[in-house]
A and B are shown apart, each in its own frame.
Chain A
Amino acid sequence: MSLVSGPGRGGSGGSVPDELKLVVDRHVKYIQSLDTRQDELEYWLTEHLRLNGVYWGLTALHLLGHPEALPRDATIDFVLSCQHENGGFGAAPGHDAHMLYTVSAVQILATVDAVEELDRKGKAGGEKVGEYIASLQDPMTGSFAGDEWGEIDTRFLFGAFNALSLLHLLSLVDVPKAVAHVQGCGNFDGGYGVSPGAESHAGQIYTCVGALAIAGRLDLVDRDRLGGWLSERQLPNGGLNGRPEKLEDVCYSWWVLTSLAMIDRIHWIDGEKLTQFILQCQDLDKGGIADRPGDMVDVFHTVFGIAGLSLLGFPGLQAVDPIYCMPKAITSRIFGR
């Protein structure tokens, strides 16, 4: 079982009615259909997103209240088929191990309550997965690489904190040094970049604030300044952009919104207008959510659209954990809170 992450070709570009609702059943069907597109070339060209795709689809289904819509055993089998002996996971069988996919693997297993399957059926047990992640930390700078080839990015640092905390193995890494690295990525606008010196960017802010939240160091964030910059991401049509002078987008809307939530400033934007913007990005006939109204849908924007609606308190959705982008009921179970 695996889900394709590309936009596909279908979809209807029909006009959007004024009174919008969330077409839950269509979204569920859309996500389920992603496993049945092997006869499209794109299915094969997007293999590098396969494991992320399962995380995105599964999380969307849980938030929609349909956790059973993907078969649990097949999901676990697919995840384990992507594992390498060093503990890390690739995007799909035959793809090299990398932080991004290792994090998705851990998140999926945590969501379906199957972390112990690593020890039972994995090519390497849970402890080894933690060691793989920890091996990617630079002991000098505290930063994390994506894989053995050494690319550094605050996305990988957050990914490491995310997966290790879900495995209760955060003690394997130097948390204070990593926190200092995050601080070094801070900018005058209160935001954070991909590395020291880099411009603030909503996606990168999410990863840095998320990492500080997991480390229990949100005291280091300049909440008013960052909150101000983030709130200015909202544009008149209700959608949010990721940097000044850029277009609005459902995925950036999530990263900005959840960062605001983590620093208790979610009320600084117009939630009602953002809700309307996300609803307008749905494909009402075939299901799925796009980056902007009228564009092609994909599972990536589908999960972040639904997660955004959940965080905005949209009726009928399961609560989302703003740090992990997983169902709150599941992170509560894992962290016993």
Chain B
Amino acid sequence: MSHGIPRGSGVQPATAEDRQKELQKIKDYKGLVESVHLRIQERQYTIDTLDLTTKLLRWNPEFYTIWNHRRLIMRHILSAGSGEDGQGFKTSHDASVNIISDELSFLLPLMRKYPKCYWIWNYRLWLLEQSTHYLPAVAGRQLWQQELALASKMLSLDSRNFHGWGYRRTVVNALESPELQSDGSASTLTEQEFDYTTKMINTNLSNFSAWHTRSKLIPKVLTKKQADKVARRKFLDEELELIQRALWAGSEDQSLWFYHQNLMSTFDPKYAADSMAPDLSGEERLEYVTQEIGRIQEMLDGAEDCKWIYQSLISLSILYKCLSGKWPVGQSVIGHWVDELAKLDPLRANRWADLRRDLGAP
């Protein structure tokens, strides 16, 4: 698989000497692979073997079997440290911490060089899970805490890094787990993480990852606060303000409109049960929808070529009709919105044709 490599950019071996060099490299590589396999077959879980896998993985980090070999060696070294190999050889926890820390440092430059290589990330997480298993909670927690800082750093460099967000979520889950609490009490980072998404959104509105993460954290924040109906409404109002400000700043930004659609689900009987304010009355829902239709219509002024506005107005009108039994505006107005939408967005012409059909062609 390759992405973004221009055609013809690879260097063809020009001379017989170049070809000879390449054949020698192949020989070296295959020799190294062979010797690692052999040592693992013979269960030589030693520092020497570990060093050979280091060399090989720096050459080719996609070679997942070698990461598995490295796990076998690590597990052997760490379990020897906890006296589990029955050889009476005990390493202190400090030594185990050092082994794991060295291993984490070995991975860093590889992650930087190959940010999309799944196997490196998997191995790193596996290693950290071992630390939870082999170290006391305080020491294990410290390692995981450093990972949270690492995730922040990666996301500050590339705020949409898929692995980065996923990694952050896993690290947070670990830090919240009972195994990593020194006093056994429950711990939650929900609010801290929610604030993190606000920070990321304020840096760059076009960050679908941050909006997504926010949608997942809100229910947890509210549950933790034991928020009642009033508190939930207040939270909802703040989210509506936030997305309004964002939409005024970037009305062509699809991330924002998807998040807006998500908030509007709060007023839709089909989705409301899972929303942040599940127990709004029908009247309250209708009030909100009316308010949103007004606000989005204001946006249209000067942005008549923004398809997202029409799309939102149409779906809000459908929701209004579902709640009240009548259209919020004349059907000819809705028909006009569908016309504009179809005109502005020819790629999805058939989608808008389906919409027109579902609306009963007003």
Binds B, one of A72-80, A290-298, A312-320: A290-298
Complex: A334 Cα to B262 Cα, angstroms: 41
- The answer to whether B258 touches A229 (Cβ under 8 A) is yes
State whether the Cβ of A49 lies closer than 8 Å to any Cβ in chain B: yes
- The answer to whether B347 touches A236 (Cβ under 8 A) is yes
State whether the Cβ of B113 lies closer than 8 Å to any Cβ in chain A: no
Per-residue contact bits, chain B 196-240, to A (CB 8 Å; 1 contact, 0 not): 000000000010110011011000000000000000000000000
Whose C-beta in chain A lies nearest to the C-beta of B3? A291
State whether the Cβ of A219 lies closer than 8 Å to any Cβ in chain B: no
Give residues 321-362 of B contacting A (CB, 8 Å).
Answer: 346-351, 354
Hey, which chain A residues are within 8 Å of B60, CB to CB? 45
Hey, which chain A residues are within 8 Å of B294, CB to CB? none
Complex: A188 Cα to B1 Cα, angstroms: 31
- The answer to whether A90 touches B212 (Cβ under 8 A) is no
- The answer to whether A227 touches B7 (Cβ under 8 A) is no
Hey, which chain B residues are within 8 Å of A294, CB to CB? 6-7
Q: A96-B64, A228-B351, A229-B258 are in contact. Are A291 and B7 (CB under 8 A)?
A: no
State whether the Cβ of A231 lies closer than 8 Å to any Cβ in chain B: yes
Binds B, one of A8-16, A28-36, A127-135, A159-167: A8-16
- The answer to whether B255 touches A198 (Cβ under 8 A) is no
- The answer to whether A245 touches B206 (Cβ under 8 A) is yes
Of B2, B11, B165, B254, chain A has the most CB atoms within 10 Å of the CB of: B2
Tell me the interface secondary structure of chain B in the complex: helix
Complex: A147 Cα to B160 Cα, angstroms: 28
Of A41, A200, A246, chain B has the most CB atoms within 10 Å of the CB of: A41
Hey, which chain B residues are within 8 Å of A98, CB to CB? 64
State whether the Cβ of A270 lies closer than 8 Å to any Cβ in chain B: yes
Hey, which chain B residues are within 8 Å of A283, CB to CB? 7
Hey, which chain A residues are within 8 Å of B23, CB to CB? 39
Distance to closest chain A CB from B70 (angstroms): 11
Distance to closest chain B CB from A104 (angstroms): 14
The size of the chain A interface, using a CB distance under 8 A, is 68
- The answer to whether B64 touches A295 (Cβ under 8 A) is no
Whose C-beta in chain A lies nearest to the C-beta of B209? A199
Hey, which chain A residues are within 8 Å of B213, CB to CB? 199
| Residue from A150, A187, A232 within 8 A of B254 (CB atoms) | A232
- The answer to whether B126 touches A270 (Cβ under 8 A) is no
- The answer to whether A270 touches B346 (Cβ under 8 A) is yes
Tell me the interface secondary structure of chain A in the complex: loop
- The answer to whether A231 touches B348 (Cβ under 8 A) is yes
Hey, which chain B residues are within 8 Å of A95, CB to CB? 64-65
Hey, which chain B residues are within 8 Å of A62, CB to CB? none
- The answer to whether A41 touches B5 (Cβ under 8 A) is no
| Residue from A7, A198, A232, A300 within 8 A of B169 (CB atoms) | A198
Distance to closest chain B CB from A166 (angstroms): 23
Hey, which chain A residues are within 8 Å of B4, CB to CB? 291-292, 295
Distance to closest chain B CB from A326 (angstroms): 19
- The answer to whether A10 touches B10 (Cβ under 8 A) is yes
State whether the Cβ of B76 lies closer than 8 Å to any Cβ in chain A: no
State whether the Cβ of B26 lies closer than 8 Å to any Cβ in chain A: yes
Hey, which chain B residues are within 8 Å of A231, CB to CB? 348, 351
- The answer to whether A273 touches B2 (Cβ under 8 A) is no
- The answer to whether A13 touches B8 (Cβ under 8 A) is yes
- The answer to whether B258 touches A11 (Cβ under 8 A) is no
Distance to closest chain B CB from A335 (angstroms): 29
Per-residue contact bits, chain B 18-62, to A (CB 8 Å; 1 contact, 0 not): 010011011001100100010000000000000000000001101
Of B3, B29, B165, B262, chain A has the most CB atoms within 10 Å of the CB of: B3
State whether the Cβ of A106 lies closer than 8 Å to any Cβ in chain B: no
Hey, which chain A residues are within 8 Å of B166, CB to CB? 194-195, 198
Complex: A270 Cα to B349 Cα, angstroms: 8
Distance to closest chain B CB from A169 (angstroms): 25
Give residues 128-187 of B contacting A (CB, 8 Å).
Answer: 160, 162, 165-166, 169
State whether the Cβ of B265 lies closer than 8 Å to any Cβ in chain A: yes
| Residue from B68, B118, B160 within 8 A of A245 (CB atoms) | B160
- The answer to whether B262 touches A296 (Cβ under 8 A) is no
State whether the Cβ of B188 lies closer than 8 Å to any Cβ in chain A: no
Complex: A268 Cα to B212 Cα, angstroms: 24
Distance to closest chain A CB from B344 (angstroms): 12
Complex: A48 Cα to B5 Cα, angstroms: 20
Distance to closest chain A CB from B77 (angstroms): 17
State whether the Cβ of B71 lies closer than 8 Å to any Cβ in chain A: yes
State whether the Cβ of A119 lies closer than 8 Å to any Cβ in chain B: no
State whether the Cβ of B105 lies closer than 8 Å to any Cβ in chain A: no
Hey, which chain A residues are within 8 Å of B126, CB to CB? 149-150
Q: A95-B65, A270-B347, A291-B2 are in contact. Are A44 and B9 (CB under 8 A)?
A: no
State whether the Cβ of A308 lies closer than 8 Å to any Cβ in chain B: no
| Residue from B10, B118, B212, B349 within 8 A of A199 (CB atoms) | B212
State whether the Cβ of B281 lies closer than 8 Å to any Cβ in chain A: no
- The answer to whether B65 touches A90 (Cβ under 8 A) is yes
Of A8, A147, A227, A245, chain B has the most CB atoms within 10 Å of the CB of: A245
Complex: A13 Cα to B8 Cα, angstroms: 6
- The answer to whether B2 touches A296 (Cβ under 8 A) is yes
Q: What residues make up the interface of A, taking CB atoms closer than 8 Å to B?
A: 5-13, 39-41, 44-49, 90-91, 94-96, 98, 147, 149-151, 187-189, 194-195, 197-201, 227-229, 231-232, 234, 236, 243-246, 249, 251, 265, 267-270, 273, 283, 290-292, 294-298, 300-301
Query: What 4 A-B pairs have minimum CB-CB distances, sorted nearest first?
Result: A9-B10, A7-B2, A268-B351, A188-B262
23 intermolecular pairs with C-beta atoms under 8 Å apart = A6-B2, A7-B5, A8-B10, A9-B11, A41-B22, A41-B29, A90-B65, A91-B65, A94-B33, A95-B65, A96-B64, A187-B212, A188-B212, A188-B261, A199-B212, A245-B208, A269-B347, A273-B347, A291-B2, A291-B3, A294-B7, A296-B2, A296-B8
